[in-house]
A and B are shown apart, each in its own frame.
Chain A
Amino acid sequence: MQAVLLIDFGSTFTKVTIADLDSEDIVGTARAGTTIKTNIMEGLQAALAQIPEPVGGWNFVRKLACSSAAGGLKMIASGLVKELTAEAARRAALGAGARVLQVFSYELTPDDLELIISSKPDMLLLAGGTDGGNKEILLKNAKMLTLLPQSLPVVIAGNKVVSAQAAEILRTQHHPVVVADNVMPELGVLSVESARLAIRDVFLTHIIRAKGLDSAEEFLERIMMPTPAAVLSAAELLAQGHGSERGMGELMIVDVGGATTDVHSIAKGDPSKPGVMLKGLPEPYAKRTVEGDLGMRYSSEALVEAAGRRLNDYLGWTEAQVVSQLGLCKQDPWRIPQTEEEAKFDVAMGRMAVALSVDRHVGTIEVVYTPFGATYVQHGKDLTPLPVVIGTGGVLLHRPDVLEILQGAVFKPEEPMLLKPQNAAFYLDKEYILAAMGLLREVAPLAALRIMKKHIVEL
């Protein structure tokens, strides 16, 4: 056996997956509470102890980890125009697996600085101007950021003409300051890969230590990336395949959590029908969105608010029934539904989280009436022909009615402007291995792909 230890230090649980490279299979999975306040290794050992050790002990050939512990990777991004470089910066940060606390556009103000101080980000991403375009914004914002009382890691991904100069200004106060390629080198061209790599690099070299996770690094080889970046990486591998081993093709992953719902799509999303004009900023092929108000536990109240009438209609309940059930959820976030009514509510909440998060992830189509007749304009990704939707996340794993929840992702004829999947097959990541496989991809991509194809099952 060639055992590989894969660890996900989550905010609540430390999840351990052991994979065997010889049989290309999972040996075991387990989880225990994350112990970041004392020593992160305690939680890891507790989880590891649950998997029966073979005679002669584990001889791990590799030990890799990802982390979203201690709040994950919290970032603030800034750009020039809200819909252009500020949006591009936000997408770069999300793609790097960050929790984006705030996105600023135009010149930073003293109030913005106050917000940066109070929200305590781990890293800043500074963009603005296309290459050769606006120069003032990057320099002015760099100067403004030197007024911050604390030193923060900064990644610059703006107008290349002044990037070095902005870095020089920032280095008088901040460390490290890394220059990446512009997130928008030309107008309407999105180029997030370089910024993503720079963010990941800074995360590895500086933020792991700042969060006290480096004590685990004596035991591990290293913590490789933030957990959401690992999931996105696994999704990419699963879609594209590796060498002659085929992938599943374009797909979407919906991760319903207690606090947020993440949606990843690995798809081009070009218009599926002729005569549709594409407008707006191009979307990344591997796109991730995070909905902070759509979670089944800590964000249950916000979810009920966001769903509004849709929840009541789906359940066929009155407002009062919903409110009383929500009260129970708030009292004890991790309660297991006892009655049929509670179970029904839980399913409805999951379905709303999936439906709303996919609504916000997919592109839209609208009719524009011109003197020459109607024309269709698409913003974002058209995911109507998408063949595969995969569900994951602690909330979904142990449910018998998971299909009912995931079907929230399906296109609705009464909302034709939302380009959601029309005929997708549904799958479940039932052992919760996606993040682990994103890690394994770093050392054994083929094995990671084959394990995923084995353990991600059709519903």
Chain B
Amino acid sequence: MEQKTLVLGVIGSDVHAVGNRILDFAFTQAGFKVINIGVLATQEEFIHAAIETNADVILVSSLYGHGEMDCRGLREKCQETGIGHILMYVGGNLVCGKQDFESVKERFLAMGFDRVYPPGTMPETPIEDLRRDLGMTED
């Protein structure tokens, strides 16, 4: 099967580089082609990278609590630039304070993300989901 490509990055003014490296390693080990645009990534950088590499999914991390502001409008920009149907996953400390994760998840799904992960998620979970969403598994 053709190798699937994903664009990975930490959005906004967020400089958390360690988790980014771990995800890069985990997804590469799992057989994906990882295009890692690193920290301090803008929405445009995610989209440009996805267009140029013909990526199957955009994987957004955010750990500094401003994810909700940074992610707003990303789906619309994808639609505008011709990659409206691309899969989008997001995970990390997406919002400030102790908020109920279900409500957070609702907000990000409404923004157009396909999957939303709470703090403390291990890489295995999104890897499994991605295989399913891309039709790479039998079930």
Shortest CB distance B19–A (Å):
15
Provide a sorted-by-A list of 28 A–B residue pairs whose CB atoms are within 8 angstroms: A80-B51, A84-B48, A84-B49, A129-B52, A129-B53, A132-B3, A132-B33, A132-B54, A133-B5, A133-B52, A134-B51, A134-B53, A184-B52, A186-B35, A187-B52, A187-B53, A188-B37, A277-B39, A370-B13, A370-B14, A370-B15, A371-B13, A372-B15, A372-B64, A375-B13, A375-B15, A375-B40, A377-B40
- Residue B65 is within 8 A (CB to CB) of chain A in the complex: yes
Q: Mark B37-71, 1 if CB is under 8 A from A, else 0.
A: 10110000000110111110000000011100000
- Residue A368 is within 8 A (CB to CB) of chain B in the complex: yes
Shortest CB distance A363–B (Å):
16
Give complex CA distance A103, B40 in Å. 28
Shortest CB distance A4–B (Å):
45
Chain B residues packing against A (C-beta within 8 Å): 3, 5, 13-15, 33, 35, 37, 39-40, 48-49, 51-55, 64-66
Shortest CB distance A26–B (Å):
48
Are the C-beta atoms of B54 and A129 separated by less than 8 Å? yes
Chain B interface, >50% SS class? mixed
Contacts of A187 in B (CB 8 A): 35, 37, 49, 52-53
Contacts of B37 in A (CB 8 A): 187-188
Are the C-beta atoms of A85 and B52 separated by less than 8 Å? yes
B40 touches which one: A81, A135, A277 (CB < 8 A)? A277
Chain A interface, >50% SS class? loop
9 extra interface residue pairs, beta carbon distance < 8 Å, beyond A80-B52, A277-B39, A375-B15: A83-B48, A84-B48, A129-B54, A130-B52, A132-B53, A368-B13, A370-B64, A371-B13, A375-B40
Contacts of B65 in A (CB 8 A): 371
- Residue A369 is within 8 A (CB to CB) of chain B in the complex: yes
Shortest CB distance B103–A (Å):
22
Name A86's closest neighbour in chain B (CB-CB). Answer: B52
Contacts of A80 in B (CB 8 A): 51-52
